[in-house]
Homo-oligomer: A and B are copies of this chain.
């Protein structure tokens, strides 16, 4: 069964949500990131938000003297990534995904439009990456989008997933802390802003 949240904002239409049991493990990756973004916003460190989940509205009722009520709608596949914003004037854009797989990350967690969007962002000089969590071991990795794009293209040669070792080699482990829970901007500082190495 697809998991959703009644407030409409925290729904995660992600491919492998169906196999993940979040309840016993505390917060989802998305909730952790939202919490971290709130922290960044409060401390004037960055302005990064999750985009609303795209919904295709089919029918709306307009009751007199009350709010328009959507009576038929469907979740749509996002055509971009979930998170974007600004940090030190720089454009930040990323996607966050979880898997219960232990040793590899299935590429089916992403889709063509998202990969295309990431390519466009990189081409335009934006900072673009993904956050990948292995939920079973609670390991989180930061991976520049260029690597994901490379893996994605290798699907033509039969690639279906990315091994954890590859992610460890190409990406950066992210510690989970208290405040912010996921300090991904620390990694951004290291690989894009301080050193300027472009990861």
Contacts and interface: CB of A to CB of B under 8 A. Distances in A.
Contact of A67 (B52, B62, B75, B80): B75
A56 interface: yes
B67 A74 contact: yes
A46 interface: yes
As for how many copies of this chain the complex holds, the number is 2
A84 interface: yes
Q: How large is the interface on A (under 10, 10 to 19, 20 to 34, 35 or more residues)?
A: 35 or more
A54 B52 contact: yes
Contacts of A41: 120
A91 interface: yes
A67 B69 CA distance: 20
A87 B124 CA distance: 6
Contact of A47 (B11, B55, B121): B121
Contacts of A58: 6, 8
Given A73-B73, A74-B70, A120-B47, A86 B54 contact: no
A160 interface: no
A103 interface: no
A102 interface: no
A85 interface: yes
Interface string A23-50: 0000000000000000001001011010
B60 A124 contact: no
B74 A72 contact: no
Contacts of A52: 51-55, 76, 78
Contacts of A47: 117, 120-121, 124, 126
A80 B4 contact: no
Contacts of A92: 91
Interface of A: 1-2, 4-9, 11, 41, 44, 46-47, 49, 51-58, 60, 62, 67-76, 78-80, 84-93, 117, 120-121, 123-126
